[in-house]
A and B are shown apart, each in its own frame.
Chain A
């Protein structure tokens, strides 16, 4: 039963998500024009970004730790977490785009700072992967990637979260959508929204650990061959 002990938090996250995926469709939501039932996307679209932020934060933490300790294991943590964070960012953009089509009338509103910020953030991380793949030497790659990641993290936070707060945006939480606060705090939504955030973050971390462990095995096999 040793494997169960390592698995408990993963299954807990899966259980929470099962609740979110089912009850999130059945529970009653505030009846509002335009959003109608699509407000339920709050349980699925928004946690994608929370998971991305968490994984990117975890990634930059390991980049800092790498520069301090110069241990290659930190580099592997940083890389794997950034990859899964990027995956969640892609899903956030894709789901947001679909939601926008049915509420704002377009797949992409070019004047919305949050949308453009999200696209820029993903490009910043795309550059991180390009940088990694461009350097042959392991230690050099790890060092440069770690330094880049330390710049990338605050940049993506600035363009997706901080800057849109002071600009006109269709997203709640920007300077012109103060009224939205009333609905953000809706208690019916909160019952599902908070577990959703926790559940998706746990799932993101689970997928990250699988990628990390896979890469670790691959590296040790390569070292044996050499």
Chain B
């Protein structure tokens, strides 16, 4: 009986300890309302600009090939 009691106490301790473990810091708030969407849009604009320029060079070379 003593042994079972001890085991139960230890189990309980282990469970509560794991429940209290802090979750790692993630930028959850940043993604929600930290204006991360502004950055995402900026990246989108820059990338679109680069791709547009690549298309431009691509077409220029096509003309040269003719």
Contacts and interface: CB of A to CB of B under 8 A. Distances in A.
- Secondary structure at chain B's binding surface: helix, strand, loop or mixed? helix
Contacts of B40: 21-22, 25-26
Nearest to B37: A26
Contact of B26 (A14, A22, A31): A31
A210 B54 contact: yes
A21 B31 CA distance: 15
Interface in A9-36: 10-11, 14, 17-18, 21-22, 25-26, 28-29, 31-33, 36
Contact of B57 (A25, A210, A216): A210
A210 B39 CA distance: 30
Contacts, number: 63
A31 B23 contact: yes
A25 B26 contact: no
- Secondary structure at chain A's binding surface: helix, strand, loop or mixed? helix
Contact of A217 (B37, B39, B65): B65
A209 B54 CA distance: 11
B26 A37 contact: yes
Interface residues of B, number: 25
A3 B59 contact: yes
Interface in B33-47: 36-37, 39-41, 43-44, 47
Interface of B: 23-27, 31, 36-37, 39-41, 43-44, 47-48, 51, 54-55, 57-59, 61-62, 64-65
6 contacts: A10-B54, A21-B44, A21-B47, A22-B40, A25-B43, A210-B58
Interface residues of A, number: 27
